[in-house]
């Protein structure tokens, strides 16, 4: 197959490149460098400095940095660099001890609790809650009272006390990952429990574990220093970072310099751990994370068709005229030069596969382009006023002039309020009537969308409705402002087929009653045939064909329309393969200059490499194909 998208190839990093990924990040390199330097220097402390940490030289007290004492000396003339490095040994050891205990308990218990569930889960979460409730500092002080000066015992205890946080987080993540279908597939494949945990669950948790471990290590550094500061760590003459800060604080009036060598390494280490944790997480998922869509490689030339058919005068009788609409998201055009008209009482279908720009077009009309998108060219005329011109025109039209129904009805309804209250609010907003009148009208609206017992439905919250009822309620909400145009984006895709039939029937009868126009976005030819008068077929951000529905179905004049109609299993011949269109829709940013369908088209020739304008081969029909004459002939000879 050639449909493996070439555009994504460049994003593939080499495997096992965690280290390389880290080395590309400046923060990671700096943090790693500092931690490495610190570890080496403390381990090889006797080689770095000639002075012992306990060597006193009462002739040079609080000297500040000198040739003999690079970082100066303390009140007893002991070398600060030496004390810092030897003290660092106990800090690093403490971090290692606490983090190992933290991870050993946290990861094992979190995984077991989340994956195995049942009684074990209950036992682990309850124990974790109990440990959570204990005052950590008090426990550590008690441990140090029982084992005076024993930092190892304190740090192991601290690891235990810290672990419930990790257990909780990992348990929640495991519960989520466990329900992923690939875990079910692995079970069906016959993998054992340890294999599934190792191959599928743990790798998804790594980034969390790394970040949590780094944060915890940073906390351990400060706690350990705090204990040293209070004199609860190593007994008096032995060096420790906390002890250094304590010494420095006592001579702060005489020698403020000493605070610098005492405090700075502490701060830098804590910051380095945090930065490193984030960097490792980013680098670890980099290999498999979805490629970030690349910005447009070059500014696209204006479409040569802009001066052609598409700029013809909009239909003066049209309710809505979209003229040359172009929408860009993140600088990449996703919809280009789209034009169509809708008259009152008409239903226009917009058909195409995902990624063709159907939804973006409808959102563009309402000025609701997602993300960093913007309308970069074109106009949307609604009852004569240009919606792209000013936000105030748009605000006046939204809801009362144009209403919107989405695929997912639950998104349209606020879960915290009853259906009736939401409807009444919309009614009051659009008509300006009183609360009581709005309530009555809300129940009327629910009755109009054929909900049985509308008063009872009005009193319910959205989660108490079935999918079909929720979609009816969402349609009622859309009708609250008595719109002239209803934009319905895949309104029945998430529903069962019997419910779909009811909703389509409802839309049709509402249209007959109110005379509103409907713009229906769908990928289902059956829905188009059922509801629409005319249809616009979109491919890769462009309109490729526009026609009356009867003509479109019987005589498609674009190879994409023809292919998509043929691929529908409705028309399938039993026992024979379905006619297919090879390949997939090219993503925005990978569109060719010429015909965008050419790579998948059986009719494609060299002529298709040049940009193809929309032509009007027959009255009220447009198509974007250089081979249209051939298609017209084939159609009439059929």
Partner 1 sequence: MSAASPEPAASCVGTRPTEDRPAALLDIRELTVEFRQGRRTPPLRAVDGVSLSVAPGETLGLVGESGSGKSTIGRAVLGLTPVRSGTIRFEDADITRATAKVRRELSARLQVVFQDPYSSLNPARTIGSTLAEPLLVQGRLTGRQSADRVAEMLGRVGLPPDTADRYPAQFSGGQRQRIAIARALMPGPRLVICDEPVSALDLSVQAQVMNLLAELQEALQLSYLFVAHDLPVVRHLSHRILVLYRGQVMETGPAEALYARPVHPYTRMLIAAVPEPDPGTQRSRRAARRGGPLSAGPLSAGPPSAGTAAVTDRGCAFAARCVHALDICRHDRPLLLPVGAPDRSGPVTRSAACHRASELLAQP
Question: Which long-range CB contacts under 8 A does 525-529 form with residues at least 24 apart?
Answer: 525/351, 525/553, 525/564, 525/565, 525/568, 525/570, 526/570, 527/349, 527/492, 527/500, 528/349, 528/351, 529/553
Q: Does 190 bind partner 1 (CB under 8 A)?
A: yes
Dihedral sign for Cα 392, 345, 570, 409, please: positive
Instruction: Render 70-125 in DSSP notation, one character per residue.
Output: TT-B-TT--BHHHHHHHHHHHHHHHHHHHHHHHHHHHHHHHHHHHHH-HHHHHHHH
How far is it, in rounded angstroms, from Cα 9 to Cα 12?
6
Measured N-to-C along each axis, helices 136-146 and 151-178 cross at an angle, to the nearest 10 degrees, of: 140
203 versus 274: smaller Cβ distance to partner 1:
203
Q: Which stretch binds partner 1 (CB under 8 A): 75-83, 116-124, 480-488, 568-576?
A: 568-576
Which residues inside 354-393 make contact with partner 1, applying CB under 8 A?
354
Q: How far is CA 326 from the centre of its chain?
A: 25
99 versus 547: smaller Cβ distance to partner 1:
547
Which residues inside 297-356 make contact with partner 1, applying CB under 8 A?
353-354
Question: Reduced to 3 states, what is the DSSP secondary structure of residue 133?
Answer: helix
Q: Which stretch binds partner 1 (CB under 8 A): 33-41, 226-234, 287-295, 481-489?
A: 287-295
DSSP state of 198: I
Q: Does 203 bind partner 1 (CB under 8 A)?
A: yes
Q: Which stretch binds partner 1 (CB under 8 A): 210-218, 320-328, 418-426, 503-511?
A: 503-511
Q: Does 553 bind partner 1 (CB under 8 A)?
A: yes
How far is it, in rounded angstroms, from Cα 45 to Cα 32?
19
Number of residues that bind partner 1 (CB under 8 A): 72
How far is it, in rounded angstroms, from Cα 286 to Cα 51?
46
The distance of closest approach from Cβ of residue 586 to partner 1 in the complex, given in angstroms and rounded to an integer, is 11
438 versus 449: smaller Cβ distance to partner 1:
449
Pairing state between β 385-386 and 320-329:
unpaired
Q: Does 497 bind partner 1 (CB under 8 A)?
A: yes
User: Which residues make Cβ contacts (< 8 Å) with residue 94, sequence separation at least 6?
Assistant: 151, 152, 155, 220, 224
Which residues inside 452-471 make contact with partner 1, applying CB under 8 A?
467
Q: Does 189 bind partner 1 (CB under 8 A)?
A: yes
Using CB under 8 A as the criterion, what x/- string covers residues 20-59 for binding partner 1?
Answer: ----------------------------------------
Question: Reduced to 3 states, what is the DSSP secondary structure of residue 227?
Answer: helix
Question: Reduced to 3 states, what is the DSSP secondary structure of residue 297?
Answer: coil
Using CB under 8 A as the criterion, what x/- string covers residues 247-286 for binding partner 1?
Answer: --------------------------------------x-
The distance of closest approach from Cβ of residue 29 to partner 1 in the complex, given in angstroms and rounded to an integer, is 25
Which position among 33, 39, 180, 610 is part of the footprint of partner 1 (CB under 8 A)? 180
Which residues inside 573-602 make contact with partner 1, applying CB under 8 A?
574, 577-582, 584-585
Ramachandran angles phi, psi of 206, nearest 5°: -50, -45
10 versus 138: smaller Cβ distance to partner 1:
10
- Residue 335 pairs with which residues in a beta bridge? 327
- Residue 374 pairs with which residues in a beta bridge? 328
Which residues inside 521-540 make contact with partner 1, applying CB under 8 A?
523-530
The distance of closest approach from Cβ of residue 16 to partner 1 in the complex, given in angstroms and rounded to an integer, is 11
Q: Does 504 bind partner 1 (CB under 8 A)?
A: yes
Q: Does 187 bind partner 1 (CB under 8 A)?
A: yes
Strand order in the sheet with 332-342: 332-342, 320-329, 373-382, 385-386
310 versus 500: smaller Cβ distance to partner 1:
500
The distance of closest approach from Cβ of residue 292 to partner 1 in the complex, given in angstroms and rounded to an integer, is 11
Q: Does 11 bind partner 1 (CB under 8 A)?
A: yes
Which position among 145, 570, 602, 619 is part of the footprint of partner 1 (CB under 8 A)? 570
User: Which residues make Cβ contacts (< 8 Å) with residue 458, sequence separation at least 6?
Assistant: 418, 419, 420, 423, 439, 442, 443, 446
30 versus 191: smaller Cβ distance to partner 1:
191
Which position among 153, 186, 238, 603 is part of the footprint of partner 1 (CB under 8 A)? 186
Q: Give the chain's end-to-end CA distance (angstroms, integer).
A: 32
How far is it, in rounded angstroms, from Cα 547 to Cα 555?
10
357 versus 399: smaller Cβ distance to partner 1:
357
Q: Which stretch binds partner 1 (CB under 8 A): 121-129, 195-203, 251-259, 270-278?
A: 195-203
278 versus 530: smaller Cβ distance to partner 1:
530
102 versus 525: smaller Cβ distance to partner 1:
525
DSSP state of 313: P
Which position among 453, 496, 620, 634 is part of the footprint of partner 1 (CB under 8 A)? 496
126 versus 187: smaller Cβ distance to partner 1:
187
Which position among 40, 130, 142, 185 is part of the footprint of partner 1 (CB under 8 A)? 185
């Amino acid at each position: 197959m050639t449909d493996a998208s070439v555009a994504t190839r460049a994003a593939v990093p080499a495997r096992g490149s965690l280290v390389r990924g880290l080395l590309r990040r400046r923060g990671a390199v700096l943090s790693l460098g500092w931690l490495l330097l610190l570890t080496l220097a403390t381990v090889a402390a006797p080689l770095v400095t000639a002075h012992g940490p306990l060597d006193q030289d009462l002739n040079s007290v609080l000297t500040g940095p000198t040739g003999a004492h690079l970082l100066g000396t303390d009140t007893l003339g002991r070398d600060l660099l030496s004390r810092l490095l030897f003290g660092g040994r106990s800090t690093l050891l403490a971090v290692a001890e606490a983090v190992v205990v933290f991870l050993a308990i946290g990861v094992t218990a979190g995984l077991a609790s989340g994956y195995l569930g049942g009684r074990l889960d209950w036992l682990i979460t309850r124990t974790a809650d109990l440990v959570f409730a204990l005052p950590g500092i008090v426990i550590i002080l008690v441990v140090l009272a029982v084992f005076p000066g024993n930092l190892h015992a304190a740090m192991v205890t601290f690891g235990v006390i810290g672990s419930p946080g990790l257990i909780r987080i990992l348990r929640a993540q495991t519960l989520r990952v466990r329900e992923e279908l690939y875990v079910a597939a692995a079970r069906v494949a016959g993998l054992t429990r340890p294999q599934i945990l190792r191959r599928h669950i743990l790798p998804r948790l790594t980034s969390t574990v790394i970040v949590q471990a780094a944060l915890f290590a940073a906390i351990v550094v400060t706690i350990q220093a705090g204990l040293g500061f209070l004199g609860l760590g190593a007994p008096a003459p032995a060096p420790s970072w906390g002890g250094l800060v304590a010494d420095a604080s006592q001579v702060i009036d005489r020698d403020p310099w000493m605070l610098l060598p005492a405090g700075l390494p502490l701060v830098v280490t804590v910051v380095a751990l945090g930065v490193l944790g984030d960097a490792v997480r980013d680098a670890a998922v980099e290999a498999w994370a979805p490629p970030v869509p690349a910005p447009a490689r070059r500014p696209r030339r204006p479409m040569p068709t802009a001066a052609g058919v598409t700029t013809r005068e909009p239909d003066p009788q049209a309710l809505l005229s979209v003229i040359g609409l172009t929408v860009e998201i993140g600088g990449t055009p996703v919809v280009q030069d789209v034009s169509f008209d809708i008259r009152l009482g008409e239903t226009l279908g917009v058909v195409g596969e995902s990624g063709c720009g159907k939804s973006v077009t409808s959102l563009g009309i309402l000025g609701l382009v997602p993300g960093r998108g913007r309308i970069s060219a074109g106009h949307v005329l609604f009852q004569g006023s240009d919606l792209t011109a000013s936000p105030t025109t748009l605000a006046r039209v939204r809801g009362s002039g144009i209403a919107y129904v989405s695929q997912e009805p639950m998104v349209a309804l606020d879960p915290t309020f009853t259906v009736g209250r939401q409807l009444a609010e919309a009614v009051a907003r659009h008509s300006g009537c009183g609360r009581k009148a709005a309530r009555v009208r809300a129940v009327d609206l629910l009755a109009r969308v054929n909900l049985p017992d509308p008063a009872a439905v009005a009193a319910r919250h959205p989660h108490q409705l079935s999918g079909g009822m929720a979609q009816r309620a969402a349609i009622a909400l859309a009708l609250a402002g008595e719109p002239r145009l209803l934009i319905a984006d895949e309104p029945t895709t998430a529903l069962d087929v019997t419910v779909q039939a009811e909703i389509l029937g409802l839309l049709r009868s509402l249209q007959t009653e109110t005379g509103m126009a409907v713009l229906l976005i769908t990928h289902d030819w059956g829905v188009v045939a059922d509801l629409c008068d005319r249809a616009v077929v979109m491919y890769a951000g462009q309109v490729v064909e526009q026609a009356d529905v009867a003509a479109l179905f019987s005589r498609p004049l674009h190879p994409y329309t023809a292919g998509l109609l043929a691929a529908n299993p409705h028309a399938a011949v039993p026992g024979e393969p379905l006619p297919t269109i090879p390949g997939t829709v090219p993503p925005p940013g990978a569109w060719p200059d010429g015909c965008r369908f050419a790579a998948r088209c059986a009719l494609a020739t060299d002529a298709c490499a040049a940009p193809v304008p929309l032509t009007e081969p027959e009255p009220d029909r447009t198509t974007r194909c250089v081979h249209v004459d051939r298609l017209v002939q084939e159609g009439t000879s059929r």
